[in-house]
Amino acid sequence: MRLLTLLGTFLLCFQLANAQSFSLQGRIIDKANSVPLIGASVFIVDANLKTQTGTDGKYSIENLSKGTYKLIISFIGYESVHDTIHLQRNGLSKDYALSLKDATMQEIVVTGTGTEHYLKDAPVQTEVITGKALREYSGRSIEDVLGGLSSSLTFQEADMGSNIKLNGLTNDYILILLDGRRINGDVGGQNDLNKINMSNIERIEIVKGAVSSLYGSDAIGGVINFISKKEKDKLSIQNTTRVGEYGDVNQNNSINWNHKGFSSSTLFSLKHTDGWRNTTQEWHRARLTENSVTRTINRSTNYTITENITYKVSKQLELNADASFYEKWTDRPMGNPLWRPNGFYYRNQTYGSGAKYSLPNKNIITMDVSFDRYDYHYDYIGREYTDYYDESGDRIVYYPGDRILQSSQRRLLTNLKGIFHLGKQHKLNTGVEYVWDKLVSPYRLDGDKAITYSLSAYAQDEWNVTEQLNITVGIRYGHSKDFDNIFTPKVSAMYKLGNFNLRATYSNGYKAPTVKELYYHYYATLMSKFKAYYGDTNLKPQKSNYFAANAEFIIPKFKVSITAYHNRMKDMISLQHTETSYEDKLLLVEETMKYVNLAKARTYGVDLTFEVQLPCSIRLAGGYSYLDAKAQRTDDDEAADFMQYVYINGTSRHNATFKVSWSNSWKRYQLGLNLNGRYQSKKYFTSDGDADGFQIWRLNTSHSLLDKKKIKLNMNVGIDNIFDYVDRTPFGHNRGTTSPGRNYYASVTIKFQNTNK
């Protein structure tokens, strides 16, 4: 009997021991800086149990049985950790340190091929400026940001926009896109990027070299595509206000909502600057004038209102419509030595609609239609006696307060596109595009208006020959009102070799003459001379042959990419001196220029970019661009180097950018430090002097003050141009930078979001 009692007691104790519950607990942190990760997930695969970390990064799971378990520890933006644990007596306490994913390599890009690819798998080399980099830089303008973060791009800010150069080629050869739709308005040959709401940009994709086979004319030198944010919250409201010296104010607001298939995005942006003057000297009519009233950057104000609506009719069909309105005022001081009687006023309107239909096997058909109108006026502050006469034969005189239209560009763009997966190896991108352009300009065109149009068809096949090798082949056929048929082919290849990506590209590019180059004639005082400019209806398209080779090495926390390229262009449209007519001489015209297909050009270059993640949350990134860009000189037929190869105006041989960033968190506060620098060597010009080289450094501090589920508060405070460099070259000669010197700024962003579905 005692034996049975002892045996029963033993069995009971054994069962109680096996029924005893155990606990698993610990802490999850960022491996780089030991910051607790709030909301990290701990999943016990065998028991199908899941928990999340609290505000201190700690987790705990109770009532586990003794045994062996498989765990998955994960957090958004971090590499997941898989682990096996053994629960025994007293349970287990175990901490985990997670490493950040290489977010850049996870970026999805679309510009190079018109189809979606992870950046690391993109068949066409694409440079990406991420939203994180944009926020960390906190620049006063898009030009400021692009010039500071990409060594391939240079800018010269001006009243009518930005003189952009991409690997030596100017505005005319660069296609600017917003979500894949062209936004170019040929205002004075410059791109005014102010209409883009900076705070609503998710990333910027830059594809260099001719992309005409996919995007047609204007993409002969490259494409810059601004990708907007796509908010998925039920409701989000955001306000960003940035203020700086010289009266700089950037105000951006957005309201986004999603409900039962409908989504709406309403954006407002306002920018103002009082401008500044870096020198009081100006060259005018070959004389150096003191006490000039000309300003380096003029006082200006602009705002943009944009509305975008999307409706998902079904799982297959999605409709969208958008509209935007933009106005800008630029004040030019009236006085010595030019006595300009007017400022500038712009009014732009854009309307668009589209549809996207999803077919089986991830095939897609899209249809987009848009209409753009760019109006450019003079706002008179003084009286001007013109050389034009009205229908009664009276001289036309403008008075202070008059607003006179100078040009109005209207563009209708229609694009039908299809993306089809042909088996596992082929992805076909094909489409048809129609572009209609009308230019209205009183007194500057015969009949005050001119019209042109073009019709194009394109096809591109992405062939995955093997898992390592991709070959992309494309061709575009174009027909226009003014020119013969044009074919532009392209072929590129990418080979994956371990951690290396090897790419090679050949592409043929073309650029049709603009309406202005064909028909426009106008007068302007540029670089101290009063000149007349005339279009030429006998112009033909410019063409190019672009070759590039790229090698990219990627491992966790390190990436380096180097690209060598060569671009040859012929039939370049350039301005050439021609005899000044008797009528123009009476108007005191000093020189007459006419557009002609006269020049050839060639560029050689090497682009290097790198990114590296160091311990202690330190990240380094940068780029270097070497450029040898030359074209035949055509602007002065009396010059000793006329028709000889000289440096393309405004190009510099060496450009470099550098960035070092660091961040850390203390409970609910996060601090980020970002030091950016840009170096630019001497800029070459054929007349009015070369521009000095320079380097500019800036420091931005970012502060996350509140990061709740429904409300976020962030601040940026920084110093631009730390070492106070100012280029005081007299007006009328070329300068390297328009920076006013050291200046301070601050910005605040507050966002409310409702994520409940």
Cα–Cα distance, 483 to 262 (Å, whole number): 44
3-state class (DSSP) for residue 672: strand
Quickly list DSSP for 216-275. -TT-SSEEEEEEEP---SSEEEEEEEEEETTTEEEEEEEEEEEETTEEEEEEEEEEEE--
Q: What six digits make up the tokens of 684?
A: 């070459």
Domain count, the chain: 2
Listed residues 65, 98, 131: the one ending a domain = 98
Same-domain status, 293 and 247: yes
Q: What six digits make up the tokens of 487?
A: 């074919």
* Spatial contact of 72 and 59, defined as CB atoms under 8 Å apart: no
Buried b (16+ CB within 10 A) or exposed e, 1-40: eeeeeeeeeeeeeeeeeeeeebebbbbbbbbbeebbbbeb
β-bridge mates for residue 348, sequence order:
326, 374
3-state class (DSSP) for residue 627: strand
Same-domain status, 63 and 115: no
Cα–Cα distance, 397 to 388 (Å, whole number): 9
Please state the length of the chain: 757
Kindly tell me if the per-residue pLDDT of 103 is higher than 60. Answer: no
What is the separation of C-alpha 282 from the centre of its chain, rounded to a whole number of angstroms?
Answer: 34
- Of 255, 124, 147, the closest CA to residue 193 belongs to 147
What's residue 57's pLDDT?
85
**CA torsion, ordered 701, 705, 711, 715, to nearest 10 deg:** -30
Q: How confident is the model at residue 93 (pLDDT cuts 50, 70, 90)?
A: confident
* Spatial contact of 278 and 728, defined as CB atoms under 8 Å apart: yes
* Spatial contact of 300 and 328, defined as CB atoms under 8 Å apart: yes
User: What string of H, E and C letters represents the secondary structure of 560-625?
Assistant: EEEEEEEEEEEEEEEEEEECCCHHHHHCCCCEEEEEEEEEEEEEEEEEEEEEEEECCCEEEEEEEE
* Spatial contact of 613 and 555, defined as CB atoms under 8 Å apart: no
What is the separation of C-alpha 31 from the centre of its chain, rounded to a whole number of angstroms?
Answer: 32
Kindly tell me if the per-residue pLDDT of 569 is higher than 80. Answer: yes
- Amino acid (one-letter) located at 197: N
Share of the chain above pLDDT 90, in %: 47
What's residue 146's pLDDT?
86
* Spatial contact of 299 and 265, defined as CB atoms under 8 Å apart: no
Cα–Cα distance, 409 to 432 (Å, whole number): 23
Cα–Cα distance, 469 to 733 (Å, whole number): 51
* Spatial contact of 705 and 721, defined as CB atoms under 8 Å apart: no
Q: How confident is the model at residue 14 (pLDDT cuts 50, 70, 90)?
A: very low
Helices (runs of H) and strands (runs of E) counted in the chain: 6, 51
Among 122-131, 358-367, 519-528, 596-605, which range has the highest average pLDDT? 358-367
Average pLDDT, the chain: 87
CATH of the domain at 671: 2.40.170.20
Whole-number CA gyration radius for the chain = 30
The least confident of 251-255, 353-357, 394-398, 752-756 is 752-756
Kindly tell me if the per-residue pLDDT of 528 is higher than 70. Answer: no
Listed residues 77, 98, 119: the one ending a domain = 98
Mean pLDDT of 647-656: 92
Cα–Cα distance, 458 to 430 (Å, whole number): 6
Q: How far is CA 158 from CA 330, 529, 710, in A?
A: 11, 18, 41
Cα–Cα distance, 245 to 273 (Å, whole number): 9
Same-domain status, 134 and 216: yes
What's residue 525's pLDDT?
65
Q: What six digits make up the tokens of 472?
A: 């992309």
Same-domain status, 125 and 15: no
Same-domain status, 229 and 94: no
Q: What six digits make up the tokens of 564?
A: 């060598």
Same-domain status, 602 and 688: yes
- Of 521, 523, 584, 525, the closest CA to residue 339 belongs to 525
Residue located via tokens 């030595």: 337
Same-domain status, 239 and 294: yes
β-bridge mates for residue 309, sequence order:
264, 321
CATH of the domain at 50: 2.60.40.10
Residues 6+ away with beta carbon under 8 Å from 394: none
Mean pLDDT of 675-702: 94
* Spatial contact of 388 and 396, defined as CB atoms under 8 Å apart: yes
φ, ψ (nearest 5 deg) of residue 658: -145, 145
Q: How confident is the model at residue 17 (pLDDT cuts 50, 70, 90)?
A: very low
* Spatial contact of 507 and 475, defined as CB atoms under 8 Å apart: no
Residues 6+ away with beta carbon under 8 Å from 81: 71, 72, 73, 74, 96, 98
Sign for the pseudo-dihedral over CA of 379, 584, 632, 540? positive
Same-domain status, 79 and 109: no
User: What string of H, E and C letters represents the secondary structure of 2-63?
Assistant: HHHHHHHHHHHHHHHHHHCCEEEEEEEEECCCCCECCCCEEEECCCCEEEECCCCCEEEEEE
Cα–Cα distance, 350 to 348 (Å, whole number): 7
- Amino acid (one-letter) located at 408: S
Domain extent, residue 52, equals 2-98
- For strands 469-480 and 403-422, give the pairing: unpaired
Count Cα atoms within 13 angstroms, Cβ side, for 700: 25
The least confident of 158-172, 361-375, 622-636 is 158-172
* Spatial contact of 630 and 605, defined as CB atoms under 8 Å apart: no
Q: How confident is the model at residue 106 (pLDDT cuts 50, 70, 90)?
A: low
- Of 288, 311, 309, 161, the closest CA to residue 733 belongs to 288
Higher pLDDT among residues 8 and 570, named by residue: 570
Same-domain status, 80 and 154: no
Kindly tell me if the per-residue pLDDT of 15 is higher than 70. Answer: no
The least confident of 161-175, 472-486, 493-507, 713-727 is 161-175
* Spatial contact of 612 and 601, defined as CB atoms under 8 Å apart: no
Same-domain status, 456 and 433: yes
φ, ψ (nearest 5 deg) of residue 131: -60, -35
Listed residues 52, 67, 98: the one ending a domain = 98
Cα–Cα distance, 467 to 372 (Å, whole number): 43
User: How do residues 595-643 score in pLDDT, each as one tens digit?
Assistant: 888 889 999 999 999 999 998 889 999 999 999 999 888 877 778 888 8
What's residue 576's pLDDT?
77
Kindly tell me if the per-residue pLDDT of 404 is higher than 90. Answer: yes
If you ran DSSP here, which 8-state letter would residue 690 be given?
Answer: P
Sign for the pseudo-dihedral over CA of 644, 648, 650, 652? negative
Sign for the pseudo-dihedral over CA of 153, 157, 162, 165? negative
* Spatial contact of 604 and 565, defined as CB atoms under 8 Å apart: yes
Same-domain status, 116 and 73: no
β-bridge mates for residue 534, sequence order:
521, 594
* Spatial contact of 668 and 707, defined as CB atoms under 8 Å apart: yes
Same-domain status, 42 and 159: no
Q: What six digits make up the tokens of 737?
A: 């930078």
Mean pLDDT of 469-478: 94
